[in-house]
């Protein structure tokens, strides 16, 4: 008698999910002191100090597997301050400060309004990336740190253009809630900064930095160091706002004192507008050419 077709591909063993849901044989082994739980279904066990290597492996695997399943191969990473406000919010804060009469608050509100320009430019750039690459065999997805400010602007621009985007959130003492524009199935949460940083760069074809603080500088210099040392392949690093970056980082002093080599200043490019940034990427990757397989940028491991 021939086998039924479904029996040819049937599982030989119960799935891990099925066995994890199976109740213990008696109530005696249901208590918190019982060691009867399956190891992979035992949260207390997985959170032990000795299990850190396993947790790190899981934190590497989960985003990797999900992004593969979603067909994500090329990304553009957008960094910048979490404190940068949308123009309308900054304008409202300025009006409030003007009414309050506090000189220090007024100066701060004026600075926030000036910096809000970068929120709007980040939003436009993310929308441009999403729109321009949508028809390609390998679309390019925006990835941010998942929080407010420039991160929100990046995810928002992609969302408003009708595309997906990625958010790599991190657990912080003051909880960072994901901004509402991240594609839900691509909204990840990390415990380990190191694993989060790996996922920022593994698929990236460019790093785009808007004005920011310590976190932005951390990511910027780490990426430049990886490229400078040859540990990572060279890719465009775009700095929005020449005035901000040249006042913040004295590259000439680093060259003059021998701290970096002449030519290292070419690791990055200053840009001012979304269109200017996209033009750099077009020139680097031939994105203005017909979308044939040979012209597609591949993942950067």
3 state SS for 199-235: HHHHCEEEEEECCCCHHHHHHHHHHHHHHHCCCCCCC
* Token pair of 22 as six digits: 């199976």
Instruction: State pLDDT tens for residues 76-117.
Output: 999 999 999 999 999 999 999 999 888 999 999 999 999 999
- 178, 189, 257 from 193: Cα distances, Å: 16, 10, 32
Q: Which residue is it, tokens 């918190």?
A: 32
Contact partners, residue 1, CB within 8 Å, separation at least 6: none
At 81 the three-state DSSP class reads coil
Residue environment code for 188-201, b if the CB has 16+ CB neighbours within 10 A, otherwise e = bbbeeeebbbbbbb
Q: Which pLDDT belongs to residue 71?
A: 94
pLDDT tier at 299, thresholds 50, 70, 90: very low
What is the predicted pLDDT for the residue at 297? 44
Per-residue pLDDT, averaged over 212-234, amounts to 96
Mean per-residue pLDDT of the chain: 91
Region 118-136 average pLDDT: 95
Q: In the predicted model, what is the mean pLDDT of residues 123-148?
A: 95
CA–centroid distance for 78 within its chain: 7
Pairwise pLDDT comparison (26 vs 37), residue with the higher score: 37
| pLDDT for position 235 | 95
Q: How confident is the model at residue 126 (pLDDT cuts 50, 70, 90)?
A: very high
Who contacts 90 (Cβ-Cβ below 8 Å, separation ≥6)?
109, 112, 113, 115, 116
The predicted structure's pLDDT at residue 10: 82
Region of poorest pLDDT, from 56-70, 178-192, 236-250, 276-290: 276-290
| pLDDT greater than 60 at residue 293 | no
Predicted confidence band of residue 2 (pLDDT cuts 50, 70, 90): low
**Top-confidence residue, 156 or 3:** 156
Whole-model pTM? Answer: 0.88
Mean pLDDT (whole number) for 1-24: 78
**Of 69, 235, 66, the residue nearest 167 (C-alpha):** 66
């Amino acid at each position: 008698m021939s086998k039924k077709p479904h029996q040819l591909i049937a599982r030989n063993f119960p799935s891990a999910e099925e066995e994890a849901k199976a109740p213990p044989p008696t109530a005696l082994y249901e208590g918190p002191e019982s060691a009867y739980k399956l190891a992979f279904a035992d949260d207390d066990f997985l959170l032990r100090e000795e299990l850190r290597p396993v947790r790190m492996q899981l934190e590497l695997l989960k985003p990797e597997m999900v992004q593969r399943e979603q067909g994500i191969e090329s990304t553009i990473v957008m960094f910048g301050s979490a404190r940068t406000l949308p123009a309308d919010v900054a304008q409202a804060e300025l009006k409030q400060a003007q009414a309050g009469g506090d000189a220090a608050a007024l100066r701060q509100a004026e600075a926030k309004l000036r910096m809000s320009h970068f929120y709007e430019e980040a939003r436009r750039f993310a929308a441009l990336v999403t729109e321009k690459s949508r028809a390609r065999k390998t679309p390019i997805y925006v990835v941010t740190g998942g929080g407010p400010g420039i991160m929100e602007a990046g995810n928002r621009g992609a969302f408003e253009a009708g595309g997906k985007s990625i958010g790599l959130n991190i657990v912080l003492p003051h909880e960072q809630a994901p901004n509402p524009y991240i594609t839900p199935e691509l909204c990840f949460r990390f415990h380990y900064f190191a694993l989060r940083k790996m996922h920022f760069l593994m698929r990236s074809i460019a790093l785009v930095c808007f004005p920011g603080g310590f976190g932005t500088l951390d990511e910027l210099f780490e990426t430049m160091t990886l490229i400078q040392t040859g540990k990572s392949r060279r890719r465009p690093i775009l700095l929005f706002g020449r005035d901000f970056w040249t006042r913040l980082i004295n590259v000439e002093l680093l060259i003059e004192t021998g701290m970096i080599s002449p030519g290292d200043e070419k690791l990055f490019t200053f840009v001012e507008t979304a269109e200017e940034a996209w033009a750099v990427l077009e020139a680097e990757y031939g994105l203005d050419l017909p979308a044939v397989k040979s012209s597609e940028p591949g993942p950067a491991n």
